[in-house]
Amino acid sequence: MQILSDILGSLPDGEVRDVRIGLHWTVVVVETGGVLRCGLSSTLFTPHGHDQGPDIPAAGLLEYGSGLELAELALSQHPTQASVGVAAINALLPRLAQRWSEDNAEEVIARHGKGKRVVLVGRFPFVPRLRGRLAELQVLEQDPGPDDLPAEMAPEILPGADVVAITGMTLINHTLEGLLGLCSPGAFVILLGPSTPLTPLLFAHGVNVLSGAVVTAIEPVLRIVSQGGNFRQVHRAGIRLVNMHSEMPYIL
């Protein structure tokens, strides 16, 4: 888990103010440097029986740990704990607003994928539109639909892709490093989705563009997440979608 270790080693600490584990999204609020920051991640679950141990052993007490202690849960093999950890990472990360751009992730993929072989790891809402804009588009998905390929085909599909877009959820389930290792050295790689940490450290691991989410209105987002809101609802409540590009000269 070198990527997670690198990110964790770069974080400032903070005091945890709130943790919400919703049906679709997990949110962590920390106070660092006198400023409240809110981080978001997808909520991942495993099937759970009543005779099993708790998903979150410290449930009800998470606000009493430090931000870094919570962020270290990203290393956990338990998906819900890892979801909390990635949300804490996104809360603690310094806001490098001077490096953010407002260009749409769909447009970035379409621009760099024109006339090329494009592979998406994870199904995104814009996939039907992209299929009409790109000559060759393949989608790898853990729960494949009629037009998708099973995620297990990644070793066959990714090495030949010119453009690869990977869901940030792979940081939670600890598959990101393996997927990046399958990409060809010349591939243009995008990490996208609200779980994506907006840190330039990821550029050293072969990512070219980070397409993530910044919480701009903490209280409304907390309320919507707590009541099972989907991303469209959370987005309207107070989310800004931004991209961060590497400093490669061909990035516009």
Give backbone dihedrals phi and psi of 184, rounded to 5 degrees, phi first. -70, 155
Residue 146: inside a domain, yes or no? yes
Same domain, 36 and 136: no
Mean pLDDT of 100-108: 90
Same-domain pairing of 114 and 175: yes
SS3 164: strand
Residue 20's region, left for phi above 0, alpha for psi from -120 to 50, else beta, is beta
How far is 79 from 137, CA to CA, in rounded Å? 29
pLDDT of residue 5: 96
Confidence of residue 61 (pLDDT cuts 50, 70, 90): confident
Query: For residue 192, is it within any domain?
Result: yes
Residues contacting 1, CB < 8 A, separation 6+: 75, 174, 177
Q: Place 93 in a pLDDT band, splitting at 50, 70 and 90.
A: very high
Same domain, 51 and 131: no
Q: Report if residue 129 sits inside a domain.
A: yes
Once rounded to an integer, what is the mean pLDDT over residues 209-227? 97
pLDDT > 70: what percent of the chain? 96
Residues 152 and 89 in one domain: no
> Is 70 exceeded by the pLDDT of residue 80?
yes
- Same domain for 126 and 160, yes or no, is yes
Mean pLDDT of the chain: 93
| Residue 27: domain span | 2-96
Residues 48 and 130 placed together within one structural domain of the fold: no
Residue 89 clears pLDDT 60, i.e. is over it: yes
Read off the pTM.
Answer: 0.93
The answer to whether 123 touches 141, Cβ cutoff 8 Å, is yes
Poorest-pLDDT segment among 53-57, 130-134, 161-165, 202-206: 53-57
pLDDT at 49: 61
Choose one of 96, 120, 144: the last residue of a domain: 96
**Same domain? 121 vs 207:** yes
Give the CATH number for residue 7. Answer: 3.30.390.100
In a shared domain, residues 151 and 207:
yes
Residue after which a domain boundary falls, among 96, 117, 149: 96
Here the CATH number for the domain that contains residue 180 is 3.40.50.11590
Kindly tell me if the per-residue pLDDT of 248 is higher than 80: no
Residues 26 and 51 in one domain: yes
Residue 160 located in a structural domain: yes
pLDDT-based confidence at 58, cuts 50/70/90? Answer: confident
Cα distance between residue 160 and residue 187, in whole Å: 9
With H, G, I as helix, E, B as strand and everything else as coil, classify residue 122: coil
Q: Are residues 45 and 114 in the same domain?
A: no
pLDDT value, residue 249: 39
Cβ(134)–Cβ(126) below 8 Å: no
How far, in Å, CA of 132 to CA of 54, rounded?
A: 45
- Residue 121's nearest CA partner among 86, 82, 161 is 161
Kindly indicate the confidence band of residue 223, based on its pLDDT and cuts at 50, 70 and 90: very high
Residues 11 and 113 in one domain: no
Q: Which structure tokens are listed for 149?
A: 């390929």
- Could you tell me the pLDDT band of residue 50, with boundaries at 50, 70 and 90? low
Number of independent structural domains in the chain: 2
